[in-house]
Structure 1
Amino acid sequence: MGCGMSFVKYLLFIFNLVFALSGLALLVLGILVLTETEVYQEFLAGKFHAPPILLIVIGCIVFVVAFLGCCGAIRESHCMVITFAIFLLTIFIFEIVVGALAFVYSNDTQDVLDDSLNKIMEDYKAGNQEANKTMNTIQDALKCCGYKGPDDYPGMLPKTCCVISEHECPNHLGSKVHYTIGCSEALKQFVKDSGIVLGGVAIGFAFIELVGIVFALCLANTIKNNSRRRAV
């Protein structure tokens, strides 16, 4: 076995260790985003479920593919290395799709958010206990107040609008006393930021995988050439 083949072989092996860790990172990121957005799915009408779920699935697949790549590199199996390269290419395409979906979905939720949150706010004012619970949850989580802002509440603001949320607080006293940003704007920003993180990470990992594809094809070609030399 030549020095060139040894170098590419162990380079691919090291890449697969990093690749396995990246799969774990994708899995954890997908779970975190899915968990963080779960409380807001009522407003999103399920529109933001797809990107994090796809990322979780890809993260799991990456673990299996990384194992295949390690085995192929160590055993110098042309078939396994080529299969690994094909899987990497497939994952590359999927991650580009996830990245695109995350960006599109994060920019495609404005009308859904406005309609859903406005309805929840109307139900809140009508005394609906479920709407009360939902608004308080989102206000507490996103540090916001009301649909458009604190002016949505006449008189005293609910505890979750207050910076110190042990008691209700008066309106129009500013950001030191209560949150001044409306939950519609805060939720849109949260979804947009989540989409940027998901999309950026997915596309970033996708281009890293191009390096793995190049390593795998180089190793497969070297293995094939060595086999031909032995056969002569």
Structure 2
Amino acid sequence: MVMSGKHFNVHEVGCCIKYFIFGFNIIFWLLGAAFLSVALWAWSEKGVLSNISSITDLGGFDPVWLFLVVGGVMFVLGFAGCIGALRENAFLLKFFSVFLGIIFFLELTAGVLAFVFKDWIKDQLKFFINNNIRAYRDDIDLQNLIDFTQDYWECCGAFGPEDWNLNIYFNCTDTNLSREKCGVPFSCCTKDPAEDVINTQCGYDIRAKDDNEQKMFIHTKGCVPQFEKWLQENLTVVAGIFIGIALLQNIITDLKG
């Protein structure tokens, strides 16, 4: 049985491959929709949807953009792959495959450029983190993102706790009347397993103490070197993701015939 237009011979398409692609993409599609919903809800709570110009008010990075971009890409890809596999539509499957190829190429290019221009990337990453340190108290989503990053990678600042001197609430200047003066956020603190409740004041005045005493209470390594360390330790996982994308593209190519 041959289908007209841009459709395939039914016998050319294996049912297992077809429904595997369909199942994978419907999950991808729903996740994309969830990400977009969370992003729109977050902007609604912050009043951005009622005042679009406020998007540029934040001095640092708004994490909502991450949800919007990732959710948008996942939604479009999931839709194309889901409908393309179910209907065996050549255009949608080709669009899905090409889009995956572009993403794979961009990831590969980013990896090569990061290796070649390592020092420049490190400087840009430092600039990006420090810029967001300045805006730490300006946006609750940014604050949560920084706290999560410092807690997960057990780091503090871009290259060390002294980077928090850039923030008006944490700097050590005489004009700073904040109680957090010469301190760091609680996410910089080392965790005590015996404590059930997080001590949000554990970083108060810590940078006014000497280095040896600081090491007893907070993480003194910066997030940039800790990220580099994490990337090296998880290189196999990153490579596996690349290989997985490549294999998925081959499956889609087989599906297209």
State the match for 1:148 in structure 2.
159
The 1-side partners of 2:160 and 2:17 are apart by 54
Q: 2: distance between equivalents of 1:102 and 1:194? A: 16
Give the match for residue 78 of structure 2. 63
Q: What is the SS of the residue equivalent to 2:103?
A: helix
Q: Equivalents in 2 of 1:97, 1:29: separation in Å?
A: 26
Once the two structures are TM-superposed, the CA of residue 204 in structure 1 deviates from its matched residue by 2.3
What is the TM-score normalised by the length of structure 2?
0.49
* Backbone CA RMSD of aligned residues: 5.1
What are the Cα deviations for residues 108-165 of structure 1, in whole angstroms up to 9, with x where unaligned? 63122334556788xxxxxxxx55737x947633143345324667796435343344
SS in 1 for 2:83: helix
1:208 aligns with 2:216: no
Distance change (3 Å), C-alpha of 1:113 and 1:13: closer
Query: Which blocks of at least 5 consecutive residues in structure 1 are unaligned?
Result: 36-40, 73-79, 122-129, 218-232
The offset of 1:181, in angstroms, is 1.0
Contact 1:99/1:198, CA 8 A, preserved across alignment: no
Report the secondary structure of 2:201's partner residue: coil
Match of 1:224 in 2: none
- In the alignment of these two chains, the number of paired residues is 188
Q: Secondary structure at the match of 2:255?
A: helix
Return closer, same or farther for 1:26/1:147 CA change in 2, 3 Å cut-off. same
Query: Aligned partners of 1:204 and 1:195: how far apart in 2?
Result: 14
Contact 1:68–1:84 (Cα < 8 Å) also in 2: yes
TM-score computed with the length of structure 1 as normaliser: 0.53
Counterpart Cα distance in 2 of 1:158 and 1:87: 48
Given the alignment of the two structures, is residue 91 of structure 1 paired with residue 102 of structure 2, yes or no?
A: no
Give ranges in structure 2 of 5+ residues lacking alignment: 2-8, 43-57, 166-171, 173-180, 191-198
1:87 to 1:158, Cα distance in 2 relative to 1, 3 A: closer
Larger helix proportion, structure 1 or 2? Answer: 1
- Give 1:72-221 correspondences, 5 Å limit: 72=88, 80=89, 82-103=90-111, 109-115=121-127, 133=137, 137=143, 140-141=147-148, 142-143=150-151, 144-150=155-161, 157-160=183-186, 161-163=188-190, 164-167=199-202, 168=204, 169=206, 170-171=209-210, 172-173=212-213, 175-186=215-226, 201=241, 204-217=244-257
Identity among equivalent pairs (%): 16
Seen in structure 2, the aligned counterparts of structure 1 residues 178 and 112 have a Cα distance that, compared at 3 Å, is same
Distance 2:111 2:68 in 1: 15
Query: Larger relative contact order (C-alpha < 8 A, sep ≥ 6)?
Result: 1
- The higher radius of gyration belongs to 1
Quick one: distance in 2 between partners of 1:8 and 1:199?
29
Query: Could you tell me which residue of structure 2 aligns to residue 10 of structure 1?
Result: 15
